[in-house]
Amino acid sequence: MQGRAMAGSGRSDERPSRQINVILRNSEPPVISQPVPDTEAAPAPAEKQQGAFMEIRKELEQLVGLDNIKTLVYEIFALLQVARLRSDAGLLSEAQVFHMVFRGNPGTGKTTVARIVAKLFQKMGVLSKGHLIEAERADLVGEYIGHTAQKTRDLVKKAMGGILFIDEAYSLARGGEKDFGKEAIDTLVKAMEDHKNQFILILAGYSDEMEFFLETNPGLPSRFPIQIDFPDYSVDQLIQISEMMAKERDYILMPQAILKLKQHLMAEKLESEYAFSNARYVRNVIERSIRQQAVRLLNQYGGSSPGKLELMTLRTEDLKVDSKAEKKPGIL
């Protein structure tokens, strides 16, 4: 198993309706759906935790592969559950550190897993809100002295009670000692000390770059006891993901279309070893095929209805998967 947990404290407050997801990208201001009081998480009874975990497990099981992550999530759950039982029995239950590093290529499920983990921690009472703030270098690094520390502190403030997820975190070390990225790292480290257990920090990025980033910042690795690898999906897993994505949208891929997609994925994976964006890539393929199918059906049937099955069917001709076509912008 690649993921390791050294973790576990048990407090809770179950307010699923108050969960928020804030995505910080392209410097857009964060959208907070409703104000959430900055309260401490409170313990949830053991049976309630069990029920909540079943829900999360169901969500996890729907994900293709990621066995190491499924095991890790179960370990965290077990640890939290036992910590709760130990505390009920008057035994010592030490507060644990849950900051994590997610290493993997684009589209390997990092953000999806971060959302599920946020929910787990909220349901188990580790985090009071369980929201996810997704950020990248531009959201932390400012333009003048002092600006970076302020921007980073503001982000941490928004992440209180939830998870701060920093994508391509290695880019914070890009410019060396004089770069403001260093100031962002120092501010994050200080925030981790000052607000122990009030938020969880996840640093994500390509494996090699993250390895280098952690090596060159010696204070960091010990602060991130959970390090998880997100491997690239195999072609078979990508096909499974495609079929699932189609099904979720009420579509079916014809066997010939699956075969065409399989051959295309094999070639594409070979051709763009480093730039291949895994599940995100197949999602784009499926979404584009759905648009192609719509155009085909309109051309074929005009105003009349093609029938339910035909409306659901994605055929070989709907799959426009000529090499590199996925990367071209545009609707069709």
Q: Does residue 286 touch ligand ATP according to CB under 6 A?
A: no
x/- track of binding to ligand ATP for residues 241-260 (CB under 6 A): x--x----------------
One-letter amino acid at 152 equals T
Per-residue tokens: 323: 């090499």
Per-residue tokens: 69: 């992550």
Q: Does residue 171 touch ligand ATP according to CB under 6 A?
A: no
In terms of phi and psi (left: phi > 0; alpha: psi -120 to 50; beta: otherwise), the region of 107 is: left
Please classify residue 95 by burial: count the beta carbons closer than 10 Å to its beta carbon, then call 0-12 exposed, 13-18 middle and 19+ buried. Answer: middle
Q: Give the three-state DSSP class for 200.
A: strand
Per-residue tokens: 15: 């307010």
Cα torsion angle, 78, 111, 251, 258, sign:
negative
Q: How far is the CB of 94 from ligand ATP (least distance, A)?
A: 31
Q: How far apart are CA 132 and CA 101, in angstroms?
A: 15
Q: Does residue 70 touch ligand ATP according to CB under 6 A?
A: no
Among 99, 110, 129, 158, binds ligand ATP (CB under 6 A): 110
19 binds, among Mg ion, ligand ATP, none (CB under 5 to 8 A by kind): none
Tell me the window of 100-108, 170-178, 256-264, 286-294 that interacts with ligand ATP (CB under 6 A).
100-108
**Nearer to ligand ATP by C-beta: 96 or 108?**
108
Tell me the window of 109-117, 178-186, 219-227, 322-330 that interacts with ligand ATP (CB under 6 A).
109-117
Q: Does residue 106 touch ligand ATP according to CB under 6 A?
A: yes
Q: How far apart are CA 45 and CA 84, in angstroms?
A: 8
64 binds, among ligand ATP, Mg ion, none (CB under 5 to 8 A by kind): ligand ATP
Among 107, 130, 162, 231, binds ligand ATP (CB under 6 A): 107
Q: How far is the CB of 262 from ligand ATP (least distance, A)?
A: 17
**Nearer to ligand ATP by C-beta: 15 or 283?**
283
Q: How far is the CB of 286 from ligand ATP (least distance, A)?
A: 10
Q: Does residue 207 touch ligand ATP according to CB under 6 A?
A: no
Among 9, 12, 93, 111, binds Mg ion (CB under 5 A): 111
Among 63, 290, 297, 311, binds ligand ATP (CB under 6 A): 63
Quick check: 12 and 125 in contact, CB under 8 A? yes
Q: How far is the CB of 19 from ligand ATP (least distance, A)?
A: 17
Q: What is the 3-state secondary structure (H, E, C) of 47-116?
A: HHHHHHHHHHHHHHHCCCCCHHHHHHHHHHHHHHHHHHHHHHCCCCCCCCCCCEEEEECCCCCHHHHHHH
Among 8, 10, 43, 109, binds ligand ATP (CB under 6 A): 109
Closest CA to 165 of 15, 17, 30, 14: 30
Among 279, 285, 314, 319, binds ligand ATP (CB under 6 A): 279
Quick check: 131 and 163 in contact, CB under 8 A? yes
Helix (H) or strand (E) holding 32: none
- Buried b vs exposed e over 318-329: b needs ≥16 C-beta within 10 Å? bbebeeeebeee
280 binds, among ligand ATP, Mg ion, none (CB under 5 to 8 A by kind): ligand ATP
For residue 292, the tally of other CB atoms under 10 A from its CB is: 17
**Nearer to Mg ion by C-beta: 124 or 282?**
282
x/- track of binding to ligand ATP for residues 148-167 (CB under 6 A): -------------------x
Which residues form the interface with ligand ATP (CB under 6 A)? 63-66, 106-112, 167, 241, 244, 277, 279-280, 283
Which residues form the interface with Mg ion (CB under 5 A)? 111
